[in-house]
Amino acid sequence: MVTVTERWKQVYPGARVATLIMRNVHNINSHPGLEKRKRSLEKELCLKFGDKETSALKSLPPIQVYTAYYKRFKKTYPLLQQLKTLAGKQSPLPTVSGLVDAMFLAEMKNLLLTAGHDLEKVAAPVIIDTSLGGERFVKLNREPQVLKPNDMIMADRKGVISSVLYGPDQRTKITLQTREVLFVVYAPDGIAKENVHQHLQDIRENVSLFSPQAEFASEKIYSSLGEETVNP
């Protein structure tokens, strides 16, 4: 289903992009088990980072890697701002839907950038690529976006479905009707394969809280060397 372009391999030789597919998912508005897990993580992050300056947060290994990526495009890593808001202002994690919350909960725990898509809306095959610049897609907030050159992207037959700089698209977004889901982790050079794998495991565990019948379909990690083996 997924192929990697030579251009991506050349531009980002040390990077990884990982995919997690789950089927037979029952998405819901919220779930007490997931909310309890959120409250626990909020408390943990507040205790750990509540009194930290922005410079200290930027020195955290995952954030340091993403900050370097975003800096090349004169942008800031969005999860850094979200961590500052959560830990510093004790702002609670939002409730959107089970699948979105399961993903965002793992994002805040591991600080790895992740996109979510309704797999049934994705027009396979899918490619992992870098933008040439000028490509257009519609973001989650329904605003049109023109891509900058050399951004990591994922695209299907109909166009771009997610970008590191601008997030997932509107066309393939997760809804309450989503029954098959594709999670995509973008990991620039400096993020270990083991960390990516653990992040995907955390998403799976979060989903299983509210949808125990969900079926794990596949987990793939791609790099410039090709598809990498995922150890159990």
The percent of residues in the chain predicted with pLDDT above 70, rounded, is 99
Task: Let me know if residue 230 belongs to a domain.
Answer: no
Per residue in 44-62, pLDDT (tens digit) is 999 999 888 888 899 999 9
Kindly tell me if the per-residue pLDDT of 214 is higher than 70: yes
- What's the CATH number where 158 sits? 3.50.40.10
Determine the Cα–Cα distance for residues 97 and 104; give it in Å rounded to an integer.
10
Per residue in 152-202, pLDDT (tens digit) is 999 999 999 999 999 999 999 999 999 999 999 999 999 999 999 999 999
Number of domains in the chain: 1
Summarize the confidence of residues 102-130 as an average pLDDT. Answer: 97
Q: How confident is the model at residue 229 (pLDDT cuts 50, 70, 90)?
A: confident
Summarize the confidence of residues 93-100 as an average pLDDT. Answer: 96
Task: Let me know if residue 228 belongs to a domain.
Answer: no
Task: Let me know if residue 134 belongs to a domain.
Answer: yes
Q: How confident is the model at residue 33 (pLDDT cuts 50, 70, 90)?
A: very high
Among 20-24, 81-85, 200-204, 225-229, which stretch is predicted with the lowest mean pLDDT? 225-229
Is the bond preceding residue 125 a cis peptide, omega within 30 degrees? yes
Looking at residue 89, what is its pLDDT? 82
Q: In which domain, by residue range, is 126 found?
A: 2-223
Q: How confident is the model at residue 230 (pLDDT cuts 50, 70, 90)?
A: confident
Task: Let me know if residue 138 belongs to a domain.
Answer: yes
Q: How confident is the model at residue 231 (pLDDT cuts 50, 70, 90)?
A: low
Task: Let me know if residue 232 belongs to a domain.
Answer: no
Summarize the confidence of residues 129-155 as an average pLDDT. Answer: 97
Q: How confident is the model at residue 40 (pLDDT cuts 50, 70, 90)?
A: very high
Task: Let me know if residue 17 belongs to a domain.
Answer: yes
Task: Let me know if residue 231 belongs to a domain.
Answer: no
How far the first Cα of the chain sits from its last, in Å, is 22
Among 43-57, 68-82, 91-105, 194-208, which stretch is predicted with the lowest mean pLDDT? 43-57
- Four-CA torsion 59, 62, 63, 68, nearest 10 degrees: 90
Task: Let me know if residue 80 belongs to a domain.
Answer: yes
